[in-house]
Structure 1
C-alpha cells in the first residue's frame, strides 16, 4: 500500500482539508460543465444531477427539469440555462464539514399537499445533517395519490 498524502480530488470532488474541518466542492467540474454543448439537454441535465452531490441548493430545480429529459421544450432548456447562470455566480459553494466537539443528528422533512395540479400528487423532501454539515437530502414527487389529497 502506498501513502499518497491527503485526499485532494475524488471523482470530480475537490477536497480541502484544513485544521478546523473539510470543505468539499466541485469548482473544476462546474468549469467543465459550462463547456457542455448547449444543444445537448440530456448531457447538461446529467451534469447538473452529478453537481447536486455537493450542491443541495439546486436539487429541487434539477429534479424538476430532469423529468423532461425525453421531451424537452425551449422553456425547459431556458430553466437549465438559468441554473447554469446561478452556478456561475456561486461557483465556490460546497459543503463544509467542520470539526465539532459534539455531533448531533438533525433531520428536517416537509411535504406539500397536492402540489401538482395535473395529477394531485405531492412533493416530499428531507434533509439530514450531522454536526455542521448536510449528509443526505432528497426531494421528489410522491408515486401515489392519496384519497385525502385528491379531494379539494
Structure 2
C-alpha cells in the first residue's frame, strides 16, 4: 500500500489513506476482508486493479456487512447496526424468548464486590461480557452498563450475572438500534460530558461519561471509572472534561 502512494494510519495500522487533488481514498483490511471507499471513483478503481494484480480478489459490491456490523445506505445517510449479531447472541444464550426491559441496567442499581454472594461460572461471565462489549461499536446506549459489569470479571457473582442478563433482555427489545451518519453541511465539533461523584461502593471513585459529535454525527463515546478518588463533584466533572480532550 505504501508503494502505491498510501499512508498507514498511526491510530489504526489496518487503515491506509491517500489524498490527492483534494479527494480522499481509504482502505481498511481485516485478515482477508477489505473495505475500499472514498470520494475519488477513479482512484478506488485503480486501487482495486492494483490489488487484484497482487492477490486473488472478489468484488462483493457495495458494503452491506463487515465484521458483524450491518451497513445500510439510503438517502437519509449511512446506518450501522448489529441486529443479526444480537439475534444470534440471544439465541446462543437461550434468551430469544425472554421478557424485554426498557433500560440496560436497573435504575439505582449499585453493584459491588460481595464475598457472601452466590458465585457464578467465571468462564461464562467472561464470554458474555466479551460478546456484549463488541456491541459497543454501534450501541452507545450500552456504554455505561458495559463499563459497570466489566469491572467484576475477576470474581463475578450472582448479582453481576443478573445485571448481564438484564442487558440481554434490553437487547431483546431493541435489536435494530444503531448509529446513523447523515450528510450535513457543516463540520463543527461538539462535546458533552458528565460524571457522578463517588458512585462506586467499592472504592468511592467516580464514573466519567462523554460523547463527541463531528458534523452533527456521533463519532466517539465512552464511560469509564476514574483512576483516582475525586474530592468533590466539581473535581469529578473537571476530570471527565480532561479525559474527553485526550
TM-score (normalizing by structure 1):
0.88
Structure 2 distance, partners of 1:96, 1:73, is: 37
Q: CA deviation at 1:68?
A: 1.1
C-alpha RMSD of the superposition: 1.9
- Indicate the structure (1 or 2) with the bigger Cα radius of gyration: 2
Q: CA deviation at 1:107?
A: 0.3
SS in 1 for 2:210: strand
Task: Give structure 1 regions of 4+ aligned residues with deviation exceeding 3 angstroms.
Answer: 35-39
Q: CA deviation at 1:113?
A: 2.0
Q: CA deviation at 1:116?
A: 2.1
SS in 2 for 1:67: helix
Structure 1 distance, partners of 2:69, 2:147, is: 21
- Unaligned 5+ residue runs, structure 1? none
Q: CA deviation at 1:98?
A: 1.1
CA contact (8 A) 1:36 1:44 kept: no
1:20 to 47, 61, 76: 76
Structure 2 distance, partners of 1:24, 1:104, is: 22
Deviations 1:52-81 (A, max 9, x none): 110010110111011111211111111111
Match of residue 103 from structure 1: 187
CA contact (8 A) 1:26 1:51 kept: yes
RCO higher in structure (CA 8 A, sep ≥6) = 1
Match of residue 171 from structure 2: 87
1:115 to 199, 208, 214: 199
Match of residue 77 from structure 1: 161
Structure 2 distance, partners of 1:58, 1:13, is: 16
Structure 1 distance, partners of 2:163, 2:197, is: 24
Structure 1 distance, partners of 2:199, 2:60, is: 50
